[in-house]
């Protein structure tokens, strides 16, 4: 049965996408939304059925379906094949269920847009591409889905293409993720050369058996990491994600919550056995993740645009996932990926509803007092903010973030025989990030919902928009209780689901680690209330924000750096290629040679002409002189003879 349902899982949103693209402009907006939601909804139902079939089998069982062989040549083979195990099961449930809620919301949000069919065609194609990515059993097939989500993100970010800002943001996302895709492809080529196949099980078996040289293994892991960093907007590829806010809000929710940016996390988790053998790359992953946590949180703290705050928040939360991956606790990374999909989708969709009802106002300082006019949206946003901050016991974000922190504390990396990187420092950076997360998100909550009244509001939030918000509220609050810290009642369903052998990996976790993870978000909430929550707030913006506004608020500092390091040199090379300087040099040399040859020829011609003229004149004068001497008079002849003889005798006597 799995051989039928696995292809159908992808075919359902793909068929909906084809129908919407072909029928664009011919059916109503309501019909467009129905087709899109039906395609993704059927995919969600199939995901649940497949999950039940997988869990009813053995713990190590999986479902497979091979559609057709792609290429079989000497020393290499690749197939279009899909595989469902427990890692990909978590991903398809997140992609289809959260994706369905976003599609239901978008059916109301986008109903008045003239390009609604094109929008939903791209959205359903996005879901289909993400499903190909997470279900592929071959890395080359996975690369097809990888490129598919990149293409769809370009189309959706630049959906309103009549605005040059939107198209520039789409190109920026496309270019930066393509750089990572190139590195990813180089890593695949290294693995294909070393193993002779890109089937995931074959590659991991070759790694376990030591068939790949350590240098090749480290290089392949590094290239794959670069691809994951670019797709997930981690340092140094983080600048494209905030600009992706140019697309419609449901697009932002889909990209930032359930698809696209989580692809890099899934890729490393899928290949965790490969990365476990590349200690330097693991250490680099953890360090970059920790740095991204702090960078994203600090930047979000000085933003004034509501959606950009959430965008930088996504970058920071993905940093937690990469930190966990680098420390080897990939189960915690996937757990946080799941809970993050719940509360980040909730925050983006709530922000979209607020923006629509406030005349498309996104500046938090122009919003205020919305708890009076939007009590339901206030409750939804506060729920998402609490889960993002990881408020203890009552939110899903607390349990997933606690699982990461408890896994980072005992980590250590032996880079060389003498050099070891301890996880305690990385844990401290992650804990500081938790404090900053609570600080910036509740800064937003207190200013927007509890501050001084700002812009006027209009209308009501439609039922199609409130149903997904209600479902996501429940998931954001209760979605994390399946994995408890060891100091709580022993409930480890998620880690037991992914890897039964690792279900009690944190049995020796000190109780004070859990306490620190619980107190720090509360401290961030308290500081945010002191600074922005009281009737007379201490400050409006962060001190010194004017100094960092250009570099932190808009990200121009990093963009400027990249412009100097990469864009300008590339443009110079493009200019050289366009104008063909080498051809100019060769042509100029030829022109100079021709000019010199012409000058030499002219000089030679003039010299020989002058010499000939002088010779002719000399001969003529000599002939005239001789003609005067030979006049036929004998006495003159005798005189010349006598004179010549006298001269000869004189010379002989003198010598």
Question: Given this model, what pLDDT does residue 581 score?
Answer: 65
- Calculate the alpha carbon distances from 503 to 36, 163, 497 in Å: 38, 51, 8
- 307 pLDDT above the threshold of 70: yes
Question: Given this model, what pLDDT does residue 579 score?
Answer: 64
Q: What percentage of the chain exceeds 90 in pLDDT?
A: 49
Count the helices and strands in the chain (H runs, E runs): 27, 4
Domain extents in the chain: 278-543, 594-654
**Contact between residue 435 and residue 367 where contact means Cβ atoms under 8 Å apart:** no
CA–CA distance, 157 with 153 (Å, rounded to integer): 6
Question: Given this model, what pLDDT does residue 503 score?
Answer: 47
Residue 71, classed as helix, strand or coil, is strand
Instruction: Return the structure tokens found at 240.
Output: 């494209």
- Give the pLDDT confidence of 105-132 residue by residue, as tens digits: 999 999 888 889 999 999 999 999 999 9
Give the DSSP H/E element, type plus range, for residue 66: strand 63-73
- How would DSSP label each residue in 132-151? HHHHBSBHHHHHHHHHHHHH
Lowest mean pLDDT among 276-290, 375-389, 623-637: 623-637
CA–CA distance, 23 with 183 (Å, rounded to integer): 38
Instruction: Give the global pTM.
Output: 0.84
Measure CA 222 to chain center. Answer: 16
Q: What angle do CA 63, 68, 70 make, to 5 degrees?
A: 115
Question: Given this model, what pLDDT does residue 502 score?
Answer: 57
Beta-carbon contacts of residue 571 (< 8 Å; ≥ 6 apart): none
Q: What percentage of the chain exceeds 70 in pLDDT?
A: 90
């Amino acid at each position: 049965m799995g051989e039928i349902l696995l292809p159908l899982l992808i075919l359902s949103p793909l068929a909906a996408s084809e129908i919407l693209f072909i029928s664009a402009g011919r059916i109503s907006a309501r019909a467009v939304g129905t087709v899109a939601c039906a395609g993704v909804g059927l995919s969600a139902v199939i995901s649940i059925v497949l999950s039940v079939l997988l869990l009813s089998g053995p713990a190590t069982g999986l479902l497979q379906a091979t559609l057709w062989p792609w290429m079989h040549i000497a020393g290499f083979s690749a197939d279009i094949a899909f595989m469902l195990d427990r890692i990909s099961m978590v991903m398809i449930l997140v992609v289809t269920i959260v994706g369905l809620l976003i599609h239901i919301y978008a059916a109301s949000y986008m109903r008045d847009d003239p390009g609604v069919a094109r929008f939903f065609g791209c959205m359903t194609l996005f879901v289909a591409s993400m499903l190909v990515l997470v279900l592929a059993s071959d890395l080359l097939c996975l690369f097809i889905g990888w490129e598919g989500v990149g293409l769809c993100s370009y189309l959706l970010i630049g959906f309103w293409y009549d605005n040059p800002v939107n198209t520039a943001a789409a190109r920026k996302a496309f270019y930066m993720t393509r750089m990572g895709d190139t590195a990813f492809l180089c890593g695949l080529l290294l693995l294909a050369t070393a193993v002779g196949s890109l089937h995931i099980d074959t590659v991991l078996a070759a790694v376990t058996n030591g068939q790949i040289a350590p240098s090749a293994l480290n290089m392949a892991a590094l290239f794959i990491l670069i691809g994951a960093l670019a797709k997930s907007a981690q340092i140094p590829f983080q600048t494209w994600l905030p600009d992706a806010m140019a697309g419609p809000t449901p697009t932002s929710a889909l990209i930032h919550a359930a698809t696209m940016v989580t692809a890099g996390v899934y890729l490393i988790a899928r290949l965790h056995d490969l990365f476990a053998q590349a200690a330097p790359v693991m250490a680099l992953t953890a360090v970059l993740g920790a740095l991204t946590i702090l960078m994203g949180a600090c930047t979000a703290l000085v933003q004034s645009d509501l959606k950009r705050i959430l965008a930088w928040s996504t970058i920071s939360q993905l940093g937690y996932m990469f930190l966990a991956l680098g420390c080897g606790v990939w189960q915690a990374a996937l757990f946080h990926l799941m809970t993050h999909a719940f509360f980040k989708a909730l925050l983006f969709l709530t922000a979209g509803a607020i923006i629509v009802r406030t005349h498309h106002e996104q500046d938090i300082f122009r919003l205020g007092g919305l708890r009076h006019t939007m009590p339901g949206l206030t409750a939804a946003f506060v729920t998402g903010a609490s889960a993002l901050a990881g408020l203890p016991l009552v939110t899903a974000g607390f349990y997933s973030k606690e699982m990461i922190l408890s896994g980072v504390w005992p980590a250590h990396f032996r880079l060389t025989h003498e050099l070891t990187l301890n996880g305690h420092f990385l844990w401290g950076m992650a804990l500081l990030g938790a404090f900053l997360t609570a600080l910036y998100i509740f800064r937003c909550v207190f200013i927007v919902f509890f501050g001084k009244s700002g812009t006027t509001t209009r209308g009501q939030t439609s039922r199609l928009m409130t149903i997904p918000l209600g479902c996501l509220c429940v998931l954001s609050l209760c979605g994390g209780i399946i994995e408890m810290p060891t100091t709580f009642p022993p409930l480890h369903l998620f880690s037991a689901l992914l890897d039964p052998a690792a279900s009690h990996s944190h049995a020796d976790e000190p109780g004070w680690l859990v306490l620190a993870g619980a107190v720090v978000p509360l401290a961030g909430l308290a500081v945010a209330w002191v600074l922005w929550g009281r009737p007379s707030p201490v400050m409006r913006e962060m001190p010194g924000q004017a100094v960092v506004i250009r570099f932190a608020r808009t990200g121009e500092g990093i963009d400027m750096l990249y412009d100097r390091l990469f864009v300008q040199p590339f443009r110079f090379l493009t200019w050289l290629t366009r104008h063909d300087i080498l051809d100019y040099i060769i042509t100029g040399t030829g022109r100079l040679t021709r000019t010199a040859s012409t000058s030499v020829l002219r000089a030679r011609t003039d010299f020989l002409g002058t010499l000939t003229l002088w010779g002719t004149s000399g001969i003529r004068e000599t002939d005239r002189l001789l003609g005067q001497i030979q006049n036929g008079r004998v006495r003159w002849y005798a005189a010349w003879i006598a004179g010549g003889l006298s001269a000869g005798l004189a010379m002989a006597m003198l010598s």
